């Protein structure tokens, strides 16, 4: 019965540790998500700098998976080369070893039992009782408390096991058995940090010796590659390349560490590290450094090797132009017309996701015929923006081919109007993209009057898209001139009203300088976005004379 309780204590300890790590990652991501992405972009223009950036970033956020996801996004968007991405991935492996140093120092060398419950209690109260940054601080404190509690449970269960199992009982195990244990345990719990914690506890309790613990840690680094492999099975070609690089790096590093186990441990001893716990984490860091030293000089040919693997299939965002012959002018212009409706509809869907949570879907029907999206329903704003930019590029590339052929005057005029509609639609999306960080700051703001402006902005945008969905009235084939004129007037009234409210709060001294700038900027860009979308719709829907008359109305640029 006692052994069963020890098993559940052990499992519960690992579960608490993994839960705490996930919450710690979420808290740190909320603090440094955007700034971390910017720094990764800025400081990864050389492979060596990329290694350092990957090491520092992972040591800070304590999640190589989070850093890897950012890197994959950068490579996919052509912001970062595969060569520099590999440097970040290699550095991330080294960055994860910081967890071992922290656990060895805090968890085994310091008595922190008296602060575990206060951390959990205070942190949880802040998490559920506050909003914004204070709530994130609460999540961070609670996560640290749960991490320490998980470590306490694991130490307790292994201490009990240590009383029943002496080191002589496991001394006869072969090295490959310890290695395999590390691989399997890491593959199950999907965390080399958790395996390191268990190994440190076993080493601390005297159940295993340092060489055996080192073999388990080598296996743990191998076992975590299963996460990347599983995640890359259905992924894009670039994701599979990075996953393959991660596996090759970890396998090579593990082989080197296994082959040089005794010399590496001797080197740790020569460095003056005699404590077994610190010797283990030093060994973990050392063999990851060794892997970086081996791969860094060959990173360019390694990247070239990976580029030749997993050829990427040609993917189109367009639905019509990719299947149309540009030399057949009437069919080509008709395809561009359908594609214009397609991109306008996607921009409407994207813009409604600029807020968090997204704006509610209005009643009625969209103002253009929108084909079913390619899995876009649950994608975030930034992903949809990148896809719409690709769609714009595909349409424009096709349009250039069409314009190289002889066109009838009516076809040429219609084509120019459609291209104008596409530019307006993408400009509408860009205006919202430029203020998304401001909207997030309003969401996180502890100041009630700033947060209330966010509600005003949401209300205005909800009403605007409701009006957009009412453009096609019952029995009307399409929107008419009067519909657009009415909406232009409404858009300007909403903007002017919010502008007056902001200036009223400025005169009463209720807004800080940075809040004034952000609020005015958001109000202006919302106006620009709504006007641009309306211009896209009128270019698509109205005839040339009506569109020209609409452009002469006050406030239309």
Give the domain CATH number at 513: 1.20.58
Are 31 and 138 contained in the same domain? yes
Compute how many other C-beta atoms are within 10 angstroms of the C-beta atom of residue 47.
23
pLDDT digits over 277-292, tens only? 899 999 999 999 999 9
- Judge whether 459 and 524 are in contact, CB under 8 Å: no
* 20's tokens: 């705490």
pLDDT of residue 327: 79
- Judge whether 198 and 14 are in contact, CB under 8 Å: yes
The candidate with the shortest Cα–Cα distance to 552, out of 462, 496, 454, 481, is 481
In a domain, 69, yes or no: yes
pLDDT of residue 107: 64
Looking at the 3D structure of the chain, how many domains does it have? 2
* 457's tokens: 């902005």
Q: Residue 419's Cα: distance from chain center in Å?
A: 32
**CA dist., res. 47 & res. 318, Å (int):** 36
pLDDT of residue 38: 61
Using the 3D structure, point to which of 307, 337, 359 is the last residue of a domain. 307
pLDDT of residue 246: 84
In a domain, 324, yes or no: no
**CA dist., res. 384 & res. 331, Å (int):** 28
Are 396 and 465 contained in the same domain? yes
CA-based R_g, the chain, Å: 29
Within 13 Å of residue 415, how many CA atoms lie on the same side as its CB?
24
- Judge whether 484 and 542 are in contact, CB under 8 Å: yes
* 108's tokens: 């085994």
Are 269 and 379 contained in the same domain? no
Are 186 and 244 contained in the same domain? yes
Taking 70 as the pLDDT cut, the residues of the chain under it are: 1-6, 21, 24-25, 28-41, 61-66, 69-70, 72-79, 106-113, 155-172, 190, 227-236, 239, 311-315, 369-378, 472-481, 543-557
Burial of 159 (0-12, 13-18, 19+ CB in 10 A): middle
Within 13 Å of residue 135, how many CA atoms lie on the same side as its CB?
12
Are 394 and 251 contained in the same domain? no
Q: What are the Cα distances from residue 20, in Å, to 15, 29, 63, 111, 116?
A: 8, 14, 12, 19, 12
Compute how many other C-beta atoms are within 10 angstroms of the C-beta atom of residue 268.
21
Q: What are the Cα distances from residue 87, in Å, to 84, 180, 289?
A: 5, 28, 12
Greatest extent of the chain over all pairs of C-alpha atoms, in Å:
94
Q: Residue 268's Cα: distance from chain center in Å?
A: 37
Are 82 and 216 contained in the same domain? yes
List Cβ neighbours of 184 (8 Å cut-off, separation of 6 or more): 219, 223
Give kind and range of the element (H or E) at residue 55: helix 47-61
Q: What share of the chain is helix, strand, coil (3-state, %, to 5)?
A: 80, 0, 20
Q: Do you find a cis peptide bond into 357, omega within 30 degrees of 0?
A: yes
Are 358 and 279 contained in the same domain? no
Structural domain span for residue 275: 2-164+174-307
Are 514 and 396 contained in the same domain? yes
**CA dist., res. 341 & res. 346, Å (int):** 9
Are 376 and 345 contained in the same domain? yes
Q: Where are the beta strands (DSSP E) in 216-299?
A: none
The candidate with the shortest Cα–Cα distance to 536, out of 463, 468, 486, is 468
In a domain, 314, yes or no: no
Q: Which residue carries 């009630």 as its tokens?
A: 448
- Judge whether 154 and 122 are in contact, CB under 8 Å: no
Q: Where are the beta strands (DSSP E) in 365-419?
A: none
In a domain, 319, yes or no: no
The candidate with the shortest Cα–Cα distance to 22, out of 68, 63, 69, 64, is 63
**CA dist., res. 497 & res. 527, Å (int):** 12
> Apex CA 108: angle with CA 183 and CA 18, to 5°?
45
* 47's tokens: 């492979």
* 39's tokens: 């720094």
- The four Cα atoms 49, 52, 57, 58 give a dihedral, to 10 degrees, of 140
In a domain, 318, yes or no: no
Are 276 and 393 contained in the same domain? no
Burial of 512 (0-12, 13-18, 19+ CB in 10 A): exposed
Are 344 and 285 contained in the same domain? no
**CA dist., res. 392 & res. 415, Å (int):** 14
Start-to-end Cα distance in the chain: 79
Are 299 and 381 contained in the same domain? no
In a domain, 322, yes or no: no
The candidate with the shortest Cα–Cα distance to 153, out of 311, 39, 14, 43, is 14
**CA dist., res. 369 & res. 535, Å (int):** 17
Q: What are the Cα distances from residue 491, in Å, to 1, 15, 430, 483, 529?
A: 72, 53, 18, 12, 10
Average pLDDT, the chain: 80
**CA dist., res. 290 & res. 173, Å (int):** 27
In a domain, 62, yes or no: yes
In a domain, 313, yes or no: no
């Amino acid at each position: 019965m006692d052994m069963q309780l020890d098993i559940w204590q052990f499992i519960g300890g690992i579960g608490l540790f993994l839960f705490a790590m996930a919450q710690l990652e979420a808290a740190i991501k909320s603090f440094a998500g955007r700034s971390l992405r910017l720094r990764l972009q800025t400081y990864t223009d050389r492979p060596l700098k990329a290694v350092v950036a990957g090491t520092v970033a992972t040591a800070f956020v304590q999640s190589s998976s989070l850093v890897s996801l950012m890197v994959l996004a950068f490579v996919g968007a052509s912001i970062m080369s595969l060569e520099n991405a590999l440097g970040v991935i290699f550095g991330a492996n080294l960055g994860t070893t910081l967890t071992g140093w922290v656990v060895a120092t805090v968890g085994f060398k310091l008595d922190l039992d008296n602060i575990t419950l206060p951390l959990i209690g205070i942190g949880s109260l802040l998490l559920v009782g506050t909003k914004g940054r204070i709530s994130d601080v609460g999540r961070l404190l609670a996560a640290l408390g749960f991490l320490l509690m998980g470590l306490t449970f694991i130490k307790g269960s292994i201490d009990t096991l240590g009383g029943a199992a002496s080191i002589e009982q496991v001394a006869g195990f072969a090295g490959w058995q310890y290695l395999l244990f590390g691989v399997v345990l890491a593959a199950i719990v999907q965390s080399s940090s958790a395996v390191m914690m268990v190994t440190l506890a076993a080493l601390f309790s005297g159940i295993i010796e340092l060489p055996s613990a080192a073999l388990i840690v080598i296996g743990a680094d191998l076992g975590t590659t299963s996460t990347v492999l599983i995640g890359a099975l259905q992924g894009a070609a670039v994701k599979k390349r990075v996953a393959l690089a991660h596996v090759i790096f970890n396998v090579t590093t593990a082989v080197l560490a296994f082959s040089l186990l005794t010399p590496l441990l001797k080197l740790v001893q020569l460095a003056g590290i005699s404590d077994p716990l610190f010797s283990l984490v030093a060994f973990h860091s050392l063999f990851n450094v060794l892997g970086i030293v081996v791969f860094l000089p060959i990173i360019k040919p390694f990247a070239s090797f990976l580029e030749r693997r997993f050829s990427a299939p040609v993917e189109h965002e367009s639905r019509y132009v990719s299947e149309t012959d540009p030399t057949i002018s009437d069919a080509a212009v008709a395809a561009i017309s359908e594609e214009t409706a397609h991109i306008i509809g996607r921009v409407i869907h994207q813009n409604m996701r600029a807020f968090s949570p997204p704006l509610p879907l209005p009643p009625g029907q969209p103002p253009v015929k929108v084909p079913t999206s390619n899995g876009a329903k649950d994608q975030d704003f930034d992903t949809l923006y990148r896809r719409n930019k690709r769609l714009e590029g595909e349409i424009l590339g096709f349009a250039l081919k069409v314009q190289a052929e002889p066109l009838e005057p009516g076809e040429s005029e219609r084509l120019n109007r459609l291209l104008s509609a596409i530019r307006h639609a993408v400009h509408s999306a860009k205006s919202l993209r430029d203020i998304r960080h401001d909207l997030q700051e309003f969401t996180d703001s502890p100041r009630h009057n700033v947060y209330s402006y966010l509600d005003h902005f949401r209300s205005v945008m909800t009403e605007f898209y409701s009006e957009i969905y009412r453009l096609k009235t019952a029995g009307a084939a399409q929107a008419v001139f009067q519909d657009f004129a009415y909406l232009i007037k409404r858009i300007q009234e909403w903007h002017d009203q919010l502008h007056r409210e902001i200036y009223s709060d400025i005169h009463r001294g209720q807004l800080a300088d940075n809040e004034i700038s952000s609020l005015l900027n958001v109000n202006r860009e919302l106006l620009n976005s709504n006007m641009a979308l309306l211009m896209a719709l009128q270019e698509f829907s109205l005839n040339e004379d009506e569109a020209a008359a609409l452009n002469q109305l006050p406030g239309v640029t």
